[in-house]
Structure 1
Amino acid sequence: MPDGPGLGLTEAVSIALGGMIGGGIYAVLGVVAGITGAATWFAFLLAGVVALCAAHSYVALNEIVDGNGGSVTFVQYFTGNATLAGMVGWTLLFGYVGSMAMYAFAFAEFGLTLPGVPDSVGSVPLRPVVSVLAVAGFVGLNLLGARATGSAENVLVGLKVAILLLFGVGGLAYGYLVSTEPVKYGVSQFASVGPIMAAGVSFVAFQGWQLLFYDQEGIEGASATIRKAVYVSIPVAVLVYLLVGIATYHLAPGALQANPHTALKDAASRMAGVVGMAGAGALVISLSALFSTGSAINATLFSAGYFAKGMLSSDLLPDRVGDSSESGVPHRTLLLLGAVTAAFTAYGSLEAITNFASVAFIVVFGGMSYLAFRNRDRSEVRTAPTAVGTVGAAGFLPVMLYHLYTANRHTFYMVLALTVAVVAVELLYFERDVLEREIETVEEDLSDAL
């Protein structure tokens, strides 16, 4: 945090919006549209409603624990189970790594659409190279202690939101005033499971507001400010996603099928072509995507680093991960987060990374909603939102996994393997004392038998 007065409501809203809109729309739009087509906007709406309900659960739990909140703290406070709290924390860390890998993937995809930039050099594709270099660059910036001030964040997020709102409104105007084809909303799909599947996949695009809970010491009137910020930022993010989803599907349905990762660029080109500025429109969106995904990597890396530092202080991560007494984010922690992110983005597919990150956040957000629902007798908790958050997350997960299994079995197995590996590593770490005792018992029994 910058020195001086803490961040106010405007800065808190900017941080939350920056985390959601900073890279999510550029990275997941094509994946979501590939599942549910014209009903993409409806999938974003469903995900946004569940995210807003989960946010209420976080806000309520945070007020109960007097503003020292966060998923790990909530689990420790209400269950007293350090192993469960640690596993939640590790799951979130892997979710943040998945998010950063997703942003780095999209960063490279849009970077390669810039004029004069080749897709490969010789037989070496540049997408993984650019993604890894982007991660390395932002790790370097964080090692130097670079961070945008609250005032700068207001300006930067304002520009990103303005560009996407202009794109969305302009796309609708194009659809109704210029295009001879009717704007499609996919109403016929509302009764199907397609939008629910897509909502689960898009859930990762709504996780940015949670970053506020890790910076409470630097926020003025933290509990009240965070409450207002999440209730403002999530609806604004939903509105932006709705407009962009409708506009992109109308302007570039073919691009969403052929080049889903960069369909926004093709849509902007078509819209700006009406006034003879097709190239400029595509360039503005591409540059906006580069800046947005880059800043999202930076912000998520910074917050994830501080989150990991807190876990180190609570002995929920191995000491080798970093030194919790170090000023700022421990350097080893940043390097480790960067290395794992680079590996994910270099060797994974965007769909696999997106689905894995969504699974992580669905599980944690659903768990926190359930925790709040169990404490619905407290005055801070409202029953209906916590129930919707719990049921929504519980519904998203199996439907999303079923879709993956039937439509893209390779991705399903990748997500399943990653999930099993993460849970196995968590159990091996947090139950290591129990395992050691069991191994010693087996060794003693073998010795006696021999």
Structure 2
Amino acid sequence: MGETSDDGRLGLFGAVSISVGGMIGGGVFAVLGVVATIAGAASWAAFTLASLVSLCVAYSYLKLNAMGDNRGGSVSQLEEYLDDASVAGMVGWTLLVGYVGAMAMYAYAFGSFSVALTPPSLVDAVPLGEGLLRPVFSVLAVVLFVVLNVLGARATGLSEEVLVVAKVAVLLAFGGLGLWYGVQQGSMEYGFEQIRSVTPVVMATAVSFVSFQGWQLLMYDQDSIRDVETTLPRAIYASILITILVDGLIAVVVTSLAAPDVIQQHPERALALAVEPVVGGIGFTVVAVAALFSTGSAINGTLFSAANFAKGMVGDGLLPDETGRASADGAPQRTVLLLGVVAAVFTAYGSLDAITSFGSLAFMSVFGAMCALAVSERDHESVHPLPPAVGAVGCAAFAVLLGVHLWNAERGTFWAVLLLAVAVHAVELLYFERESIVDGVEHAEDLLVPGSG
């Protein structure tokens, strides 16, 4: 995918395209409206704060990657530095759950924009209307990309690159147009009052964190990057900076031009609703179509990367063999199907708040652990302890703040996310500590019933 050299490997522009493509869809077309309902006109500040912590996390990943012998993402680095397969496996499972949450989030937005492009007469003719069509379209999106991945149909490098450039161009065009219109109308708001009150911004930052995880996909694609030692860090840092510029611009425009109640009613369509008064229905349609391509591309890329990530875990004995074949050529079909089924269930039955919160929590847990690992390696001359420390403290604080926000504003979502998190970690413990648990049970039986062993 992306710009390639004569040997087929990615150059800087191609690597940046992959990383930006993985973040734009989540930030603008899925999370922005949720963030805006919390932080209002200060949403740009929430995205900026999340991006700064993400830069610290990226620094930690890149330093650990450069120092180690086993290049890769979280699992590879944890296995090398800690030599603890159980910890590495539990982090890997959590990361997979985060990827499933991200796919569900993209699919939710895909379904909502699909409904928006459906003739109202047809929506009204369907029982339950949008309440039924949105989940159906979302699940169909997941099914489509599962089938494409099972069949081995992947986007070519040129098409992926063109798609990302087109998405960014559309967003910048509408962002610039909306900014001009807002200035002319005197309706621009920058949220300085909300920033001074602090709480809404940091709460929104915790929710927006899931939109800044796309750069991590490059960590699993290092063999296909030319001059990886220099290209990888440049691509990751550049993509995060590009994403925050785009997200910040769009956040200012949306919160200035769209009424809060309109955003709250359809948070995933916030941008399209904001540009409609500026350029009319054609603007809404263009943004909606761009959203379909953007979120569809994000589903496809995340599914492919997550399946290959899972294949590596199967090969290392960190996932059951039943989840896929480590020897498969490309993404294992069984793994793709399994990830797709879980993502489809999430997007069909979960609310957007619950899906984004759960995804953010999963990534904050993994990213915080990696920053803590980098802090433990601070004696190495190439590692400055400040960025990893900021990343670790930031992720921990955001996790707590996310829980506080959900408790205060979305009590039902709080319990849903908590139960999901407990269930995931319980399954992880049962799998990785199963031998210790069995030994403990047998020992208890011996104590209760002497001679039973």
Please, what TM-score do these two structures have when normalized by structure 2? 0.95
Moved more, 187-196 or 48-57: 187-196
Task: Tell me which amino acid in the other structure corresponds to 1:63.
Answer: A
Measure, in 2, the Cα distance between the counterparts of 1:18 and 1:360: 20
Whether the 8 Å CA contact 1:67–1:222 is kept in 2: the answer is no
Measure, in 2, the Cα distance between the counterparts of 1:293 and 1:184: 28
What pairs up with 1:345-384 in 2 under 5 angstroms? 345-384=347-386
Measure, in 2, the Cα distance between the counterparts of 1:188 and 1:330: 51
State the identity %.
53
Whether the 8 Å CA contact 2:70–2:80 is kept in 1: the answer is no
Moved more, 281-290 or 390-399: 390-399
What pairs up with 1:157-306 in 2 under 5 angstroms? 157-177=164-184, 179-181=185-187, 183-191=188-196, 192-254=198-260, 255-272=262-279, 278-306=280-308
Aligned-residue offset at 1:258: 2.7
1:51 equivalent in structure 2: 54
* Structure 1 residues 144-171: Cα deviation after superposition (integer angstroms, max 9, x where no partner): 1111222322111000011111121111
Poorly superposed stretches of 4+, deviation over 3 Å: 1-4, 117-120, 443-447
1:130 to 129, 132, 137: 137
Measure, in 2, the Cα distance between the counterparts of 1:115 and 1:145: 30
1:275 equivalent in structure 2: none
1:440 equivalent in structure 2: 442
Moved more, 86-95 or 224-233: 224-233
Aligned-residue offset at 1:67: 6.0
Q: CA RMSD in A?
A: 1.6
Measure, in 1, the Cα distance between the counterparts of 2:417 and 2:123: 27
Task: Tell me which amino acid in the other structure corresponds to 2:174.
Answer: F
Aligned-residue offset at 1:103: 0.4
Measure, in 1, the Cα distance between the counterparts of 2:424 and 2:451: 36
Secondary structure, in 3 states, of the residue corresponding to 1:112?
A: helix
Measure, in 1, the Cα distance between the counterparts of 2:379 and 2:162: 41
Whether the 8 Å CA contact 2:113–2:292 is kept in 1: the answer is yes
Task: Tell me which amino acid in the other structure corresponds to 2:226.
Answer: E
2:343 equivalent in structure 1: 341
Whether the 8 Å CA contact 2:70–2:76 is kept in 1: the answer is no
Aligned-residue offset at 1:261: 2.1
Aligned-residue offset at 1:257: 2.7
What pairs up with 1:111-150 in 2 under 5 angstroms? 111-116=114-119, 118-119=122-123, 121-123=126-128, 125-150=132-157
Whether the 8 Å CA contact 2:28–2:271 is kept in 1: the answer is no
Measure, in 2, the Cα distance between the counterparts of 1:381 and 1:161: 33
Mark the CA change 1:377 to 1:341 in structure 2 (over 3 Å): closer, same or farther: same
Task: Tell me which amino acid in the other structure corresponds to 1:339.
Answer: V
* Structure 1 residues 192-249: Cα deviation after superposition (integer angstroms, max 9, x where no partner): 2111110010000000000001111111122321111011000000000000000001
Measure, in 2, the Cα distance between the counterparts of 1:341 and 1:24: 19
1:81 to 80, 84, 95: 84
Whether the 8 Å CA contact 2:34–2:264 is kept in 1: the answer is no
Tell me whether 1:406 sits opposite 2:408 in the alignment.
Answer: yes
Measure, in 1, the Cα distance between the counterparts of 2:102 and 2:118: 27
Tell me whether 1:321 sits opposite 2:328 in the alignment.
Answer: no
Secondary structure, in 3 states, of the residue corresponding to 1:23?
A: helix
Whether the 8 Å CA contact 2:89–2:432 is kept in 1: the answer is yes
1:155 equivalent in structure 2: 162
1:5 to 8, 16, 26: 8
Moved more, 47-56 or 184-193: 184-193
1:94 equivalent in structure 2: 97
2:32 equivalent in structure 1: 29
Aligned-residue offset at 1:4: 4.4
1:19 to 15, 18, 22: 22
Whether the 8 Å CA contact 1:206–1:234 is kept in 2: the answer is yes
Mark the CA change 1:228 to 1:67 in structure 2 (over 3 Å): closer, same or farther: farther
* Structure 1 residues 117-175: Cα deviation after superposition (integer angstroms, max 9, x where no partner): 64462246111111111100000000111112223221110000111111211111111
Tell me whether 1:61 sits opposite 2:61 in the alignment.
Answer: no
Whether the 8 Å CA contact 1:40–1:195 is kept in 2: the answer is yes
Aligned-residue offset at 1:400: 1.5
Task: Tell me which amino acid in the other structure corresponds to 1:267.
Answer: A
